[in-house]
Amino acid sequence: MSAIESIQVDGEWRAALGGAQREVWDPADATTLARVAESDRSDVDLAVAAARRAFDGGPWPRTPVSERAALLRRVADLLQRDRETIALVESRDTGKTLEEGRVDVDDVTAAFRYFADLVVSEGAGRVVDAGSSEVHSVVAYEPVGVCALITPWNYPLLQASWKIAPALAAGNTFVIKPSEITPLSTVHLVRLLLEAGLPAGVAGLVTGAGDPVGARLAEHPQVDLVSFTGGLVSGTKVARAAAATVKKVALELGGKNPNVVFADACATDEGFDTAVDQALNAAFIHSGQVCSAGSRLIVEESVRERFVTELARRAERIELGRGTEEGVECGPLVSRQHWEKIQAYVASALADGAVLRCGGGRPEPAAHRPAAGFFFAPTVLDHCHRNMRVVREETFGPLLTVETFRTEEEAVALANDTEYGLAGAVWPAEAGRARRVAGRLRHGTVWINDYHPYLPQAEWGGFGRSGVGRELGPTGLAEYREAKHIYQNLAPRPVRWFTG
């Protein structure tokens, strides 16, 4: 297998200065998919220096907004041209199904188009009323500078795009570091940016480990902003490293997301079927390796037994296998290490008194499910309570815990009883209750009678320890801009504040 030149500096593709490489694994059978460059601090320094030069002296920050938008639209077209190739790369690298890979490509295409439209509609700034005809006052939108973008392994293309599209729309230059576990689609995306005509140096890419590669980016004195998506532990380190040089910091971290089901939502067969179906989708899509996964089912006591019985019956029938195989509904976990972590969570839940309703470990191997793959059966853990580790910590796997409530007050208290605050859902039949409960949930996204959809035009991000800042929407663009107030006195004269 040939090694991929995966470092991009100043328009050139290259290997790591030290010559090191890393193997990227196919999680469906634990074979090697590719070898990529393993950067060190000196590679980061080169990439940042190139991005710095491109920002300070290059054309991109001064390119008219309409031209920047046109480039983003070309990237969107190229993503669609390469849709199948990218979906396949993403599926083999992360384990997700081919169809999920296609959905990701379509979603990021929409994000590039959205930010192209937004930056044109917002323009280069706004004129403000200074309260005097002798003053002309404008607030100009300017790029922040060199951005360090650090992304996780579960949605590599999507997370990269949610950062790259607004960063470029605003006129920044950047260096991106994808997860060392799943770097391949980001390499492809950066190739498309260059093909679309982005000037050399604007888009830098370094592949390699969180520490030293991500750590060096976060602390680098020539970097102006760091936007990080990943876990709470690494995010805390990034914030600490960035503080030394007072960078702007955006953090998209984990979640422990409640899916609250009221009994009245299950009053009809159709309502019951929909709520169960969506609870499965919430918890098990991409084997639960989703920051917003609905991993805590909080269900009204009166419907618990019927709900959980049906849920477990359907969870057992989810077809696990290699994501590229026809008929497969869920892929493997991303790595052996992650598989072991999930198994440890199941063991701790059982030791804490949870009742296993289905799953709990490795499914039987099959032709489409190699024994060496990191498959973990969708798992429902009943009779859980808020003091269990499996309820409090983000497991990031196919584990669904079940808690119950009797009153609306209790449901809200349980749903908010987490240090995180990324997302959650509520399933009531009564419209007043839907709005009331949604209004009281301390989470960045709340779905009513749905789970998982998001819109590029609506902000995404977390309350509490789920992060700082927002991606997508107008706020997602504003993260990458400085607002500069230019106040011009049209009739200057002495003010005589000092009389001498």
Chain residues binding ligand NAD by CB under 6 A are 150-155, 159, 177, 179-180, 210-211, 214-215, 218, 229-231, 234, 237-238, 252-255, 291, 394, 396, 422, 462, 467
The one catalytic residue in 100, 180, 252, 479 is 252
Q: Is 252 a catalytic residue?
A: yes
Exposure of 246 by Cβ count < 10 A (0-12 exposed, 13-18 middle, 19+ buried)? exposed
Place of tokens 């969107």: 76
Torsional sign, CA 180, 360, 353, 464: positive
Angle between helices 65-81 and 98-122 (to 10 degrees): 170
List 38, 147, 266, 291, catalytic entry: 291
Residue 381's CB: how many other CB atoms inside 10 A?
A: 27
**Is the Cβ of residue 195 or residue 211 nearer to ligand NAD in the bound state?**
211
Least spacing, CB of residue 466 vs ligand NAD, in Å: 6
Give min distance, CB of 444 to ligand NAD, in A: 8
CB neighbour class for 221 (10 Å; exposed up to 12, middle 13-18, buried from 19): exposed
Alpha-carbon span 216 to 233, nearest angstrom: 16
Task: Compute the least distance from the CB of residue 346 to ligand NAD, in Å.
Answer: 19
CA dist., res. 186 & res. 178, Å (int): 7
* Nearer Cβ to ligand NAD (26/382): 26
Choose between 113 and 470: whose C-beta lies nearer to ligand NAD: 470
User: What's the min distance (Å) between Cβ of 213 and ligand NAD?
Assistant: 7
Can you point out the beta strands (E) in 264-349? 296-300
CB closer to ligand NAD out of 373 and 462:
462
CB of 84 to ligand NAD, least distance (A): 24
| DSSP string for residues in 374-416 | -----EEEES--TTSHHHHS---SSEEEEEEESSHHHHHHHHH
Q: Which is nearer to ligand NAD, 131 or 221 (CB)?
A: 221
Look at residue 337 and give its three-state secondary structure.
helix
Phi, psi of 408 (to 5 degrees): -60, -40
291 is catalytic: yes
For the annotated catalytic residues, the residue numbers are: 252, 291
